[in-house]
Chains A and B, each alone.
Chain A
């Protein structure tokens, strides 16, 4: 049965300070579309407060109902119908708090009213805050804003209500006491083996069994190892004993001694054989030496004889050759003597020719000297004449005036002239006119003054006739000029006087005459030189002086020159030439003869040497032969040689035999074998000693370890190991059995839960299928939606999209509402701003579902989304 709310009135409740009444709510779908903050949510809160909150409650929630800043008493009035009965509820909080419920059972107030209400609607007393779980079915179905966004299982009370129904439906119970007991016992037993997480508990029975096995395995390994070590010691001991036995047998065996004695004996034999061999070697060596000596003697004899014969032959040959050579030599000597005589003759002839030539030449030279002497005397005459001529010219040539004097004269004349002209032009012209008596008494500078004119150039004192004097003084310059003129005139005169000249012109003439004389002198000199040439024959140098000296020294010879018997030079020359040639040829012939003689001498030298050498050799050989003849065996050499040969052969055979005997007994090898024998025995003895020590050690070990009962311990360890394996197997078996039982119980529980939740799922599936095609909802034991099965896959709810989760949250509530409705429980649906995440298609589908639900129960839809719900048919209500 549905719960129908007919009227809601609020006053002093949150934003509703004034009384606000909403009436006319119908059975089906009521839609309140208002903007935000219009008070939609407050309305739902007021309804919840009226029904579920105790009027006397003083919680913070209650206080929050008061309008902001007002100390007033919030009041809610509700008209509703349940199961066809109408009720009116009035509740006031804070201040004069009261509750009043009027209905078919009359009017009840306060606590009674509260109790009645609780029974009627099936909810529990709320605590400090509002808990929708305590509010029962309505708490689940009245979905405040943002409350139904995710899928949550219904509260305990609702679950009980629904569960009871379902268990009846499924014919089984969930969470029965017997099952719980069995499960607990099995769990307890399971925990003896495993941890919470199903791991093997270390301290548990299975863990203990595992540890026992591990320990047993370890112990077994150790025991076996120790046992094996002991067994190995036994084996070693056994082997060592066997070795020792063998060794002892070997050592005790007198084979060794026999062998050694045998070897010693053989060694002795070997030694004597070796001695014999040495002796034989000595003998053989002696025989061989003698044979060799004799053989050598024979050989030497033969060789010496051969040598002597050879030397003799060589000497004869050399002598023969020398004889031949001596003849040639004699011939050469004769030739040489002849050549020498011829050479001597030629030399004399040559000398004679040379003397004749010299004589001729001397005569010729004397004649030419004398001629030269005459000529020289003649040239001397000529030179004398020339020198006299030159003497005359020489005086003139020395009268020359030097050029400088000429220049000075010239300069003095020019100066005189210049000063004179200056005086004449610049001087005072004085003229005395008159004639004699008038001019008496007049003197000039003491000298009478003669009429005429003059130029006054210096102070002139004119003596006047009365005795007075007229002093005429020219200007100072003129006085200087007069002085200079005087000086120049004096100098000029001095120079002329010095050079005995009249004038400059005479000086020049004199110089001209002097130069002419000099030229003539030079000509004479050249003529003198030409008249006195050099004469080599006379050993006379060129020049007049040489000539003069020669002439002075060589007066003209008058004695006659020896004439006759003198050949002409040319003839003498020709004779000498012929004599020279003859001499040269004779010289050549002589040299050739000498050469031939020397060659002959040279050829003889080696031959002489060869001859001498051969003679020496021969002599030596003869000496050797004489020496050899002195050898004792010389006499019967052949016989001795034959005997020696035989002896040597015999000795060789004996030696060979001795050698064979000796080699049969290799002393070294015997020594080695004896040493080996000794070493082997020593080694065996050492080994025996080692073995004895080893055996003693092993025996000690075997004795000490053997007493420890290792084999028994190992057997025990093996048994324990087997037992541990068996125990572990049993434990594992039991543990696995328990695990299987535990799992089976859990599975049975889960399946049962599924059986029970089946009907919920079936109802929900109808709705879920409307928005999610072919999706099957699966519910948990707590009736919470666990997953959605789609296309064979399970999707956990928490992994679905928010929109889908919200839609599923509303849908499962619808399903529960249906079931509660079937149960006859008072249900209604209030949705405050629902489906905010739904897309248009889903939203339409959801609205359709809600509209369908409103056929069965009252639905109040509070929304601000005018457009989304515009088309929905229902009772429109405005605040």
Chain B
């Protein structure tokens, strides 16, 4: 039995904090992931795609989102098993009724905790979420499911494994020994957006298209080979288009910064990369200006998206800097006043630093235009 285990598509996620172009690209990429999975299934001859919840980002997605989703799935020969997760929980008259109404033959909504025999002797035991938050273990239902003549029992659920990666009383907790308890051959889980193997028969596929910083790896799905009595063979397949990188760089000067940038750009596909860059360190004021120029004039344009957090970069003017500023008595005086504010610290220090940088930049520009 070969199938694809995927989850957390989060279709219709708005990405409102991004600019419009990025937003559109990210939204579209999520739909494209369906195609990628469909192609992977075809490529690897997997007849079923099990989606372990959070197919949609909300329970009330836009109609376009629904239509895009089902029409894309419809294109492929494989059978799609969609499990309602906490984001797209199942309820009467809700999202899944809309999906069903689309009447796509190869898409099955698992909105009820009823086992399905998806192939001879292969039973799929779904644990759909009927509410956004459930105190009970949704997989408890597995114990009550009868799978006559089963050779393989595959669980499909959405939630956190209890005592794993969560603290305290999180909702939708799944018993860690569910596989053993419910005599499952494999438990396909969703909710955790990264790829995570709980044990040989249980794991999270992660999202096929990364949707937040903090995970450098691009999205994947799992190709699972199951055979009765055998340990499952699980193979990750890259699906995701965009890479979401987060970097914390400590910089000392503009040259070092440029080198880091070069390294980064060399290691990634910049056009498909979103970068959150946190900078820290003490740099000369001229270097700081150079860094800003590099960021604003080059790096931000190369990458799909760049979010620079440079609040911790301290631009310290060198003697040369000061000399450059002192060409004009009054500019020098203004710079000195701002430096005093920076040194005094307090609430205004940060602003004063920004102001000083700005002054420096403007002075340089003035000098350039004079030259």
Contact = CB atoms under 8 A, between A and B. Distances in A.
B21 interface: no
A237 B92 CA distance: 8
B152 to A, nearest CB: 35
A173 B329 contact: yes
Interface in A685-734: 698-699, 702-703, 706-723, 726, 733-734
A478 B95 CA distance: 190
Given A237-B92, A238-B91, A716-B14, A703 B330 contact: no
A110 interface: no
B62 A719 contact: no
B343 to A, nearest CB: 14
Interface in A623-649: none
Contacts of A734: 354
Interface stretch (A366-374, A450-458, A526-534, A738-746): A738-746
Nearest to B59: A711
A744 B366 CA distance: 18
Interface string A152-181: 000000000000000000011110111101
A722 B93 contact: no
B15 A719 contact: yes
Interface stretch (A488-496, A550-558, A747-755, A819-827): A747-755
Contacts of B358: 186, 737-738, 741
B154 to A, nearest CB: 30
Contacts of B15: 719
B97 A712 contact: no
A740 B352 contact: yes
Nearest to A167: B329
Contact of A723 (B17, B328, B359, B363): B17
A241 interface: yes
A711 B89 CA distance: 12
A410 interface: no
Contacts of A708: 60, 62-63
A589 B363 CA distance: 176
B369 A181 contact: yes
B60 A709 contact: yes
A172 B330 contact: yes
Interface in B326-371: 327-331, 333-334, 337-338, 348, 351-352, 354-355, 358-359, 362-363, 365-367, 369-370
Contact of A172 (B61, B329, B337, B348): B329
Interface string B22-56: 00000000000000000000000000000000000
B370 A178 contact: yes
Interface residues of B, number: 46
B226 to A, nearest CB: 35
A517 B370 CA distance: 204
A706 B65 CA distance: 12
A749 to B, nearest CB: 5
A462 interface: no
A741 B355 contact: yes
Interface string B60-82: 11111100000000000000000
Contacts, number: 157
B60 A710 contact: yes
A740 B342 CA distance: 12
B16 A716 contact: yes
B230 to A, nearest CB: 42
B354 A722 contact: no
A715 B13 contact: yes
Contacts of A744: 334, 337-338, 355, 359
A59 to B, nearest CB: 42
A289 to B, nearest CB: 75
B256 interface: no
A718 B365 contact: no
Given A715-B13, A736-B351, A744-B338, A706 B60 contact: yes
A560 B348 CA distance: 193
B58 interface: yes
A14 to B, nearest CB: 50
B228 interface: no
Contacts of B98: 703, 706-707
B58 A703 contact: no
A234 B91 contact: yes
Nearest to A742: B355
B60 A711 contact: yes
B281 interface: no
Contact of A722 (B16, B64, B65): B16
A742 to B, nearest CB: 9
Contacts of B137: none
A182 interface: yes
B363 A178 contact: yes
Contacts of B103: none
Nearest to B88: A711
A185 interface: yes
Contacts of A737: 351, 354-355, 358
A176 B65 CA distance: 61
B362 A182 contact: yes
Contacts of A778: none
A726 B307 CA distance: 12
Given A720-B16, A741-B358, A747-B337, A713 B62 contact: yes
B366 A178 contact: yes
Nearest to A722: B17
Contact of A709 (B13, B65, B328, B338): B65
Contacts of B354: 733-734, 737
A44 interface: no
Nearest to A701: B93
B12 A709 contact: yes
Contacts of B61: 709, 711-712
B362 A748 contact: no
Given A178-B370, A720-B16, A185 B58 contact: no
B16 A179 contact: no
A179 B12 contact: no
A833 interface: no
B362 A185 contact: yes
Contact of B93 (A174, A234, A721): A234
Contacts of A177: 370
Nearest to B94: A706
B14 A719 contact: yes
Contacts of B65: 709, 712
B95 A706 contact: yes
A178 B59 contact: no
Nearest to B353: A737
B330 A749 contact: yes
Nearest to A172: B329
B185 interface: no
Contact of B16 (A227, A234, A723): A723
B57 interface: yes
Nearest to A170: B329
A230 interface: yes
A225 to B, nearest CB: 14
B171 to A, nearest CB: 17
Contacts of A174: 330
Nearest to A751: B333
Interface in B159-207: none
A747 B62 contact: no
Contacts of B355: 737-738, 740-741, 744
A182 B364 CA distance: 9
A182 B57 contact: no
B83 to A, nearest CB: 18
A717 B17 CA distance: 10
Interface in B226-282: none
Given A713-B62, A737-B358, A749-B330, 12 more contacts: A176-B328, A182-B359, A186-B358, A709-B62, A712-B14, A720-B16, A723-B18, A740-B351, A741-B355, A745-B330, A748-B337, A751-B333
| 9 A-B pairs with least C-beta separation | A719-B16, A709-B62, A711-B60, A172-B329, A711-B58, A716-B14, A748-B334, A702-B93, A748-B333
11 contacts: A178-B370, A179-B329, A179-B330, A179-B331, A185-B362, A185-B366, A699-B92, A707-B98, A709-B58, A738-B358, A745-B359
